[in-house]
Amino acid sequence: MCPERAFGLWAILWLLLASGLGHASDEGPIIPPASFGDQCVADTEIMRKQHMSLLNHQRDETVIEGVRGNPFSLVGCVNCHAQKDDNGQAIRIDAEGQFCESCHAYAAVKIDCFSCHAALPEEGFGNTHEVIGLNTPVIAPLAAADPAKHFSHQQRQVLQSHRVAAGPHNQLRGNAALKNIISTHTTEHQRPVNSDTR
């Protein structure tokens, strides 16, 4: 084989490899930033992985028990994360490239919420004092602060797997630990407090 030809082949191989590598280092979906506030109701890592279970849990509480005003509401998601177009009109959160859709399209998971739920923010949201509250970390970092207060047992277990630092709450693991937390809770002993969050 003549050297020019060999070089040509190598070049083609390189091109193929490079384009392949380019796909491998894909950095994921482009998620637009929130329109309001700089602190979500829980850490981003938790919200990314657990938003559906958090939403579902609160959904049942709201629909069946009538508990309203708690942090993990779908209306809350839409209020803060819906973008506005150049004319200041809100864009549906499930429209192409928007907050929900961008990630769901990337993960190939269909969103079923917005066939029934409003995909546009509440009228007048952003003009009220609620938004001011969001600029300070409202319930942040919720899970780390007091998981026993905000989550069901199952959710706490899931959240446990996300906690990197071996804080005192890691005692929650296992049945013995569960019994332990039940007894401390019922006798109202002081529960372990994560010093850096209080």
Partner 1 sequence: MQSSSTNNKNSKAQQARRRFLQKLGLLGAAADSYTLLELQAKTTASAASGDKRWGLLIDTSKCASGCDACVRGCNTEHGIDASDSDLTRAQWIRKIDLKDKLTGKESSLPVMCQHCDSAPCVDVCPTGASFKRADGVVLVNKHTCIGCRYCMMACPYKARSFIHENLTEQKPSAPRGKGTVESCTLCVHRIDSEQDMQPACAVACTDEAHSAIVFGDLNDPDSNISRQLQSAGGSQIRSDLQLNTGVRYHGL
Which among 180, 193, 189 is positioned nearest to 145, based on CA atoms? 193
Q: Which stretch binds partner 1 (CB under 8 A): 6-14, 43-51, 93-101, 172-180?
A: 172-180
> How far apart (Å, rounded) are the C-alpha atoms in residues 40 and 77?
9
- Contact with partner 1 (CB under 8 A) among 152, 170, 180, 197: 152
Residue 193 within binding range of partner 1, rule CB under 8 A = no
Residue 186 within binding range of partner 1, rule CB under 8 A = yes
Residue 176's contacts (CB-CB under 8 Å, 6 or more residues apart) are none
Residue 66 within binding range of partner 1, rule CB under 8 A = yes
Q: What is the DSSP string of 92-153?
A: PTTSTTSHHHHHHHHHT----GGGTS-SSPPTTTTSSTHHHHHHS-SS-SHHHH-HHHHS-H
Minimum distance of partner 1 from residue 138's CB (angstroms): 11
CB closer to partner 1, 29 vs 35: 35
- Where along the sequence are the contacts to partner 1 (CB under 8 A)? 59, 61, 63-71, 75, 78, 115-118, 120-122, 148-149, 152-153, 175, 178-179, 181-182, 185-186
